[in-house]
Amino acid sequence: MQDTQPKSIYLKDYQPPHFVIEETHLRFDLFEEYSQVDSRLVMRRNHQQHAGYTGPLVLVGQQLELLSIKVDGELLTADEYQVEDDSLTINTVADDFILEISTRIEPQNNTALEGLYKSGGMFCTQCEAEGFRRITYYLDRPDVMSIFTTEVIADASKYPILLSNGNAVQRETFASGRHSVTWHDPHKKPCYLFALVAGSLLVKEDTFKTMSGRTVDLQIFVEPQNIDKTDYAMDALKRSMKWDEEKYGREYDLDIFMIVAVDDFNMGAMENKGLNIFNSSCVLANPQTATDSAYQRIEAIVAHEYFHNWSGNRVTCRDWFQLSLKEGFTVYRDAQFTADMNSATVKRIEDAALMRTVQFAEDAGPMAHPVQPDSFIEISNFYTVTIYEKGCEVVGMINKLLGDEGFRKGSDLYFDRHDGQAVTINEFVSAMEDANNLSLTQFKRWYKSAGTPIVDVVSQYDDVAKTYTLNFKQSCAEPFLIPIELGLLGESGQDLELVMDENTSSKGDSFNGGIFQLTEKEQTLVFTGIEKEPVPSLLRDFSAPIKLNYDYSRDQLLFLLQYDSDGFNCWDAGQKLALDVIYEVMSQQQANLPLMVDPRLLTAYGSLLQRDDLDHAMLAKMLILPSISYIAETQEEIDIHAINQARTHVQTILADALAADLEILYKRLNITQGYLPEPGQMAQRGLKNAALSYLLKATSGDYKALAVNQFENNDNMTDSMAALASLVNSNHSLEARSALDSFYQQWKAEPLVVNQWLAVQAGSAEYGHVENIQKLLSHEAFDIKNPNKVRSVIGTFAGQSLVNFHAEDGSGYQLLADNIISLNTLNPQIASRLVAPLSKWRRYVDQQGQQMKQQLQRIMAQPALSKDVYEVVSKSLSL
Ligand SMILES: [Zn+2]
C-alpha cells in the first residue's frame, strides 16, 4: 500500500479561478536530450468572481525542472516562491502582472504519453485532460481560457514540419541549422486544447468552401510511408464540415484545419483547436490495409473531432465533472452523422448493443457513476461509456422529447448564448428548456444518478370492452422521466391506430406521437377500439437506456421479428428469441438433459434469409446471435463456460440447419467488383462474411475451401481479414496456422495491419489461450509502450477471448494483472483501463470471482501505484 492515499476531488468544492490568463506566449526549444519551454503569461486577478482576494498565485505542474521565474521582468529569489510535487506557489503578485517561467522537460522519456512526448521520430502532445501541467506551470483547468501564441524551434532537417494551433504567422531559419515557426490562435481556449507537432511529415491537401463563402485549407500530415492512406479521412472531413453547416448551422472558424496521425496515442483522437491529433488507427486507410469497419470508425471519429470545434471548443466545459457536456453531445452529433451517411437502423442497433453490453455492466459495477459525476480521484478514469454513450443517450432523449425542430432551436440558443464560455451541463439543459419554453427538471435526474432504471410492463386485453391495457412500473425510488416509444401490432402485423381512453389512463396527455412519457412510479395506458389482442412493440428505437421487462412468448417474438415496422425492435425480437433458446439450453446442460434447440429458432433465422425487405447490413446484424458478453450481462451469476457452451451449441445447430442456404447466399454475394468504401458495398461484404463465418461453424459439409480461396484471392483487407478470422475462429487449425503465417510475412511492415493480425489471434477461442498470448507478447511485432499493440493483444484477450481469459486455473487473470503491473509505471492511463475485466469479480461464480479478486489484491499491494490504477482497483475491492 502507498503511504498517502490519493484523494478524491468533489464537484461541490468547485470555485472559480482566482486569476485570469489573458495571453499565453510559449516558446518551445526542442532537442533530443531535453526540451526547454519558456512561457510568458499576461495575468490579472479575477476580481469579478473573487472580489478582494489578495492571496498567492498557485500554478500546477508535474515532473518539470524549474529553471527560472520572473514577475514583471524581475527574477524571483528562492524565498519568493515554493515548489512542491504538483504545484508552484508565488507568494506575492500585483493585480496585473507578467509572469515568465522557464522549465525543462524530457519528452523522449515520457512513456505516459501525456503532455509533450515523442512518437517514433515525431514530437507531439496530448493535453486533455491534465497533460498541459507536464509541459509548464499553468492554471491547468478548462475554465481558464487564454489567447495562445506559440513559437516552435527545432532542427530543420529532422523536423521540417512545426505545427501548433491557429495560423502560422512567422517563419525563421537560423544559421545553426535550426528553424522556427510561430503560430497564433485568435480564439480563446483552455490549455487542454493546446497542441504541438514537430516531425518529418508529408501533407495531403484540399480545401473546403464554407457556407459563407470562405475557403478553408485542409491538411492531413502523416509519416511519408502513409501518404497513400489519407484520401478517406479527407473525404470524411469535408462531408462532416458540410453536414454540420446543414444540420446545426455551424461553420468552421479558422483559415486552416489540420489533422496529424501519430502511432503512439492513448486515445482515439483529440480535438485540439485547428490541429486535431489522431491515433493513426483512426485516420489511415486504404483498401489493401484497412477493413470496412476501420473505414467506418475513421468516418465517425473524423466527424466527432471536427464537431467538437463547436461542441467542446467554442463552448467548453467549466470543470471536468462536466465532461459529458462536450462528449455526450458530440457523440450524439457523430451518431446522427453516421446514421445520415449509412443505415440509421443499423447504427441504432450498434449503439444500443454497446449500451446494453458495456455501459449497463459499468453501471452495475464498482466504477458506476452518473453522467455528471460528483467526485473522482483521477479524471482520466472517467473517459467512460457512461460519460460518452449514456451521455449521448440522454441528449438523444431530449431530442425525442422536444422533436427535431425544438432540439435545433435549443442547440442554436446554447451555441449563441455560451460562445466563448466554459459552462456546465445545467446550462445546456437550460438552453433546451428556454428555447422550447418547457421544464426538464425531472428529466435532469438522468445526469445525476448512476445505475440503469428497470421498467416492468404487464398487459391485459379485455375482450368485451375491446380495450388493451399496458401497466408500467419503474424501479427507481425517485421516478425518472422515461420516453418510451411504442406501438401495437394487429393480427396481420400492421401498426394499429392508438386511441387512448382518457378516463382510465393515468395521464392522457403524456402519450404523443408514439412516445409515452413515463413520469411516475407506476402508470397505466388504456387503448380503446382494439378488436383482437395485439402484440406490443415496446421501447422502439431503444428510446431510453433502460432495461424493459415484458414477458413475451416465443410466438410473439417470432411475430415481431416478422412484422415489426420498427427496425430496432425487429432485430431485438430475434435477439430475445435467441437469448431465450440459449437460456433453455443452459438449463438443459445444468440438468444433464439432452440439448434441444427449439426448431422455431431455426425456422425464424432460415426465413430471414428469404426476406427481401431487409437490406444487407440489417440482415447481417440479424443473423448474429447475442454475444457472450451480452448474455453474461443478463445473468445474476456469470458462468462464462456454461454460456459459451450453450451459445456454441445453438450456433452449430443453426449453421448446420442453414448451411445450404448460407452457401447460396455467400456465392451470390461473392462477386468481384472494384473495392469502394461505400455503404452498399460494405453491407454486401458484411453479409457475405457473416455467412462465411457461419459456414465454418457447420459440422456437416466442408466449407474451409471457401475461406482459403477468399483468403488467397481478394483485392481488399476486409475480405482477407474476414477469411482469416473465420479460419482462426473455427477448428481448422492447419489452414488457420498457414494463413496466419503468410499474412504476417506479407504485412509485417504495416503496423496497423500487424495490430489486426495480433488481435484476430488474441480474441479467438482457439488461438487466444494464455500460452499463445505469452508468445504474442514476446513476438517482434509487440511493444508494450505502444497503446494500440497493448489494446490489440491484452485488451482483446481480456475482452473477447472470454473462455481463455476465464480459464479455470486463473492463468488468464494472472496474465492480465502482470501486464497491468508493468504498465502502471510506464503508462498509468492504459494500465487503468485494463482493470475493468477484473473489476466485476463479484458477479462471477465463486471460484473464478475469488481468483479475480486475488489478482486485484496483488495489484493493490504493489509499491508506487499510480492514481489511475489505485482508483479503479481500490473501488473494485471496496464495497
Ligand atoms: Zn470527444
**Each residue's pLDDT tens digit, 482-503:** 999 999 999 999 999 999 887 7
Q: Quote the ligand 1 centre to 326 CA distance (angstroms).
A: 7
How many C-beta neighbours within 10 Å does residue 673 have?
A: 9
The answer to whether residue 544 scores a pLDDT higher than 60 is yes
**Which residues are catalytic, by number?**
305
Tell me the mean pLDDT in the region 11-19.
Answer: 98
pLDDT value of residue 295? 98
Rounded to 10 degrees, the C-alpha dihedral 287/290/292/297 comes to: -130
Q: Return the axis-axis angle of helices 733-747 and 704-712, rounded to nearest 10°.
A: 10
Cα(314) to centroid of ligand 1, in Å? 14
Note the pLDDT of residue 2: 47
| 779, burial (CB in 10 Å: exposed 0-12, middle 13-18, buried 19+) | middle
CA of 766 to the centre of ligand 1 (A): 36
How far apart are the CA of 399 and the centre of ligand 1, in A? Answer: 20
Give me the mean pLDDT over the 208-223 stretch.
Answer: 98
Ligand 1 centre to CA of 301 (Å) is: 9
The CA distance from 813 to 855, in Å, is: 7
| Burial tier of 711 (Cβ tally within 10 Å: 0-12, 13-18, 19+) | buried
Compute the distance from residue 311 Cα to the ligand 1 centre, in Å.
9
pLDDT tens digits, residue range 677-732? 999 999 999 999 999 999 999 998 889 999 999 999 999 999 999 999 999 999 88
Q: Is the pLDDT assigned to residue 372 strictly greater than 60?
A: yes
Q: What was the pLDDT predicted at 731?
A: 83
- For residue 507, pLDDT over 70 is answered with no
pLDDT higher than 60, residue 778: yes
For ligand 1, the distance from its centroid to the CA atom of residue 19, given in whole angstroms, is: 28
Q: What is the pLDDT of residue 352?
A: 98
Residue 505 has pLDDT above 70, yes or no: no
CA–centroid distance, residue 312 to ligand 1 (Å):
8
Average pLDDT over residues 47-59: 96
Per-residue pLDDT of 67-93, as tens digits, reads: 999 999 999 999 999 999 999 999 999
Distance between Cα 267 and ligand 1 center (Å) = 10
The alpha carbon of 308 and the centre of ligand 1 are apart by a number of angstroms equal to 7
State the pLDDT at residue 703: 95
Q: How far is the CA of 112 from the centre of ligand 1 (A)?
A: 20
In the numeric block, which cell numbers belong to residue 39? Answer: 512561457
Q: How confident is the model at residue 508 (pLDDT cuts 50, 70, 90)?
A: very low
User: Across-strand partners of 471?
Assistant: 458, 524
Confidence tier at 320 by pLDDT (50, 70, 90)? very high
Indicate the pLDDT class of residue 246, thresholds 50, 70 and 90: very high
User: Would you say residue 273 has pLDDT above 70?
Assistant: yes
Q: How confident is the model at residue 739 (pLDDT cuts 50, 70, 90)?
A: very high
| pLDDT tens digits, 397-425 | 999 999 999 999 999 999 999 999 999 99
Kindly report the pTM of this predicted structure.
0.98
Helix orientation angle between 344-354 and 567-590, rounded to the nearest 10 degrees = 40
Report how far ligand 1's centroid is from the alpha carbon of 331 (Å). Answer: 7
Q: For residue 672, what pLDDT is reported? A: 79
**Helix, strand, coil share (%) of the chain residues, nearest 5:** 45, 20, 35
Q: How far is the CA of 139 from the centre of ligand 1 (A)?
A: 22
pLDDT tops 90 at residue 671: no
pLDDT of residue 364: 94
> What's the CA-to-centroid distance between 310 and ligand 1, angstroms?
11
Q: Could you tell me what percent of the chain has a pLDDT over 70? A: 99
The rounded percent of the chain whose pLDDT value lies above 90 is 96
Element (H or E) spanning 240, and its range? helix 231-248
Distance of CA 447 from the midpoint of ligand 1 (Å)? 18
Instruction: Judge whether residue 819 has pLDDT over 50.
Output: yes
**504 has a pLDDT exceeding 90:** no
Q: Give the residue-averaged pLDDT of 55-74.
A: 98
Per-residue pLDDT for 510 more than 70?
Answer: no
**From CA 459, how far away is CA 472, in angstroms rounded?**
9
> CA-to-CA distance for 577 and 556, rounded, in angstroms?
9
pLDDT at 616 > cutoff 80: yes
What rounded mean pLDDT belongs to the chain?
A: 96
- Nearest alpha carbon to residue 657 among 649, 668, 646: 649
232 CA → ligand 1 middle, Å: 20
Report pLDDT for 501: 83
| Pairing of β 422-423 and β 316-317 | parallel
Beta-bridge partners for 70? 75, 100
